[in-house]
């Protein structure tokens, strides 16, 4: 049955879970510092972690192993230390408008998609500027995702395709990640100039799910 109901004053545009399952973060369609809220289920407590706004928040993500929250606004990605309540790093994608965000399971690399059809890869140990900019799609990117176990990442776009890339991250910090496009997946029908709206990998299998503006969810294996 219904265990918990959390009511928000504005529409919710994103919900993401912390890896341990006790916290979840939501993004609200509003202005100001209250765009991001963090809910703790065990204590039934909610908080707004920021006191001021740095632009319209697009996506947020928890770091898989460290107490960091990544917040993507239209022009930048900020890395906040939740325990110290301070800004740790500011990443500059140099894109017109960031649309999506995903963190590598190891935690040292980040990808983000943009509405100007680019995918940007950041190596957090290397620089606050992009390591690589991939230009595989023809239209706006709506979603990006890493596979939890396999060295794969995916991007979904308004061109109706999902592109799977091999992204190998090495344990040797001196060796740069290897990024190679693998497959272009087609199947979604264009609807009102919108294509693929979201992508997510299966937690253990080499499968990817995509949802489209055509009202369908498709599984590619």
Residue 61 lies in a domain: no
- 188 located within any domain: yes
Quick one: tokens of 142?
């709506």
The answer to whether 101 and 112 are in contact (CB under 8 A) is yes
Over residues 146-191, the pLDDT tens digits come to 999 999 999 999 999 999 999 998 887 677 888 998 999 998 888 8
- The pair of three-digit structure tokens given for residue 50, joined into one six-digit string: 């920021």
Average pLDDT of the residues in 124-144: 91
40 found inside a domain: no
The predicted structure's pLDDT at residue 219? 94
Q: What is the pLDDT of residues 71-102, one digit of tens each?
A: 999 889 999 998 888 999 999 998 888 999 99
- Provide the number of structural domains found in the chain: 1
| pLDDT tier, 49 (very low <50, low <70, confident <90, very high otherwise) | confident
Tell whether 38 is covered by a domain. Answer: no
pLDDT at 2: 86
Identify whether 214 is part of a domain. yes
Half-sphere exposure for 75 (CA within 13 Å, toward CB): 2
Residue 23 lies in a domain: no
For 104, the enclosing helix (H) or strand (E) is: none
Provide the pLDDT for residue 96.
81
10 Å CB burial of residue 41 (0-12, 13-18, 19+) is middle
Question: Which pLDDT score is estimated for 71?
Answer: 94
CB 220 within 8 A of CB 162: yes
pTM of structure: 0.90
Determine, yes or no, domain membership for 143. yes
- Domain range enclosing 190: 105-121+136-220
85 within some domain = no
Q: Is it the case that residue 20 has pLDDT exceeding 90?
A: no
């Amino acid at each position: 049955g219904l265990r918990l109901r959390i009511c928000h004053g504005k529409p919710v545009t994103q919900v993401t879970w912390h890896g341990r399952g006790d916290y979840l973060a939501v993004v609200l369609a509003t202005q100001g510092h209250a765009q991001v809220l963090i809910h703790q289920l065990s204590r039934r407590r909610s908080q707004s972690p920021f006191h001021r706004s740095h632009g319209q928040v697009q996506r947020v993500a928890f770091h898989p192993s460290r107490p960091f929250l990544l917040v993507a606004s239209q022009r930048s990605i900020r890395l906040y230390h939740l325990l110290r309540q301070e800004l740790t790093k500011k990443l500059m994608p140099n894109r017109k408008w960031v649309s999506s965000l995903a963190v590598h399971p190891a935690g040292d690399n980040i990808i983000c998609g943009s509405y100007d059809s680019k995918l940007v890869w950041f190596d957090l140990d290397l620089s606050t500027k992009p390591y690589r900019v991939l230009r595989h799609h023809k239209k706006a990117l709506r979603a990006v995702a890493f596979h939890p176990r396999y060295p794969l990442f995916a991007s979904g776009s308004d061109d109706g395709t999902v592109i799977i890339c091999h992204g190998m991250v090495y344990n040797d910090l001196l060796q740069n990640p290897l990024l190679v496009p693998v497959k272009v997946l087609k199947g979604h029908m264009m609807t009102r100039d919108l294509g693929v709206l979201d992508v997510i990998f299966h937690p253990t299998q080499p499968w990817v799910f995509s949802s489209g503006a055509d009202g369908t969810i498709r599984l590619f294996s």
